[in-house]
Chains A and B, each alone.
Chain A
Amino acid sequence: QQQVKQSPQSLIVQKGGIPIINCAYENTAFDYFPWYQQFPGKGPALLIAIRPDVSEKKEGRFTISFNKSAKQFSLHIMDSQPGDSATYFCAASTRRDEKLTFGTGTRLTIIP
C-alpha cells in the first residue's frame, strides 16, 4: 500500500533528447509527489514537486505529468544535457504524516 514503483531502473539518452521516468502508486491518500535528483556522493536534492489538483507542472526544463485516475506520475526532462546525468527518485507522502516514500531510483545517463 505504501510502495511507489519507479521505472526504468536505468536510462541512456542522447543530448537534446527527452528522458521520461515513470512512477506508480497504490495509496490514494498520497497527495504530494516530489522528484529528487542525486549526484554521486551527494544527498538527494528536490527538483520539482506536484499536488494532485493539477495534471502538469513545469519548472525550467523539468516537467511533471500527473494522472490521478491511473495513479501514475512521470518526469520529463526537455533538451537534456550531460550535466543532467544523475539518479532520479520519485517520492510520495500524505498531509497526515508527511513521511516520504521513495521509489527505487532511475540512473540517467545523457551522452554527448
Chain B
Amino acid sequence: EAGVAQSPRYKIIEKRQSVAFWCNPISGHATLYWYQQILGQGPKLLIQFQNNGVVDDSQLPKDRFSAERLKGVDSTLKIQPAKLEDSAVYLCASSHLRLEETQYFGPGTRLLVL
C-alpha cells in the first residue's frame, strides 16, 4: 500500500512570495490533516478535512494560509504572502475514519523563507 505522498520535498522562497504544497493521502482515507512542524517542536495541527469538508481550521492563520481538498482526495495548502516565521516542515497525514485507525504521515515539505 502506498503511503502519503507530498510534493515538493523542499522549497526556498523569499518573504512575501506565495507557495503551495500538495498532498495525496492513502487511498480510501477519508480524513486528511495538515500540520506545521517548526524546528525543535512537535507538529501543530493547521487544518483537518473529513472527505472534502473542513472539520477544524481553528489554528490556520487564515489571513495568509488556505487549504482545499476538492473531490475529497488530494489536497493543497497555500501560503500567500509568506513570512519568515513560516519556515517549517509542513506535514500531511491521513487516517481511515477514527483516530484509532492511526494517522499516517507523509515525509513533509521543508519550507525556508528568506
Q: Say whether, besides A91-B42, A102-B43, A104-B41, A97 and B56 are in contact (CB < 8 Å).
A: yes
Most A CB within 10 A of own CB, among B40, B43, B45: B43
Asked whether A100 lies within 8 Å of B103 as measured between CB atoms, the reply is yes
For chain A, which range describes its interface: under 10, 10 to 19, 20 to 34, or 35 or more residues? Answer: 20 to 34
Q: Is A98 an interface residue (CB 8 A)?
A: yes
Selected contact of A98 from candidates B98, B104, B105, CB within 8 Å: B98
Asked whether A102 lies within 8 Å of B4 as measured between CB atoms, the reply is no
Among residues 14 to 56 in chain B, which have CB atoms less than 8 Å away from a CB atom of chain A? Answer: 40-45, 48, 56
Asked whether A43 lies within 8 Å of B93 as measured between CB atoms, the reply is yes
Asked whether B99 lies within 8 Å of A98 as measured between CB atoms, the reply is yes
Q: What residue of chain A has the Cβ atom nearest to residue B42's Cβ?
A: A102
A100 vs B105: C-alpha distance when bound (angstroms): 13
Residues of B within 8 A of A43 (CB): 4, 91, 93, 105-108
Tell me the smallest distance from the CB of B29 to a CB of chain A, in Å.
14
If A41-B107, A43-B93, A46-B104 are given as contacts, then 5 extra A-B residue pairs at C-beta distance below 8 Å, sorted by A number, are A32-B100, A43-B91, A45-B105, A100-B99, A105-B41
Query: Can you offer 29 A-B residue contacts whose CB atoms are under 8 A?
Result: A32-B99, A32-B100, A43-B4, A43-B105, A43-B106, A43-B107, A43-B108, A44-B43, A44-B91, A45-B104, A45-B105, A46-B103, A46-B104, A91-B42, A93-B99, A97-B56, A98-B98, A99-B45, A99-B48, A100-B103, A102-B42, A102-B43, A102-B44, A104-B40, A104-B41, A104-B42, A105-B40, A105-B41, A105-B42
Interface residues, chain A, CB within 8 Å of chain B?
4, 6, 32, 41-46, 89, 91, 93, 95, 97-100, 102-105
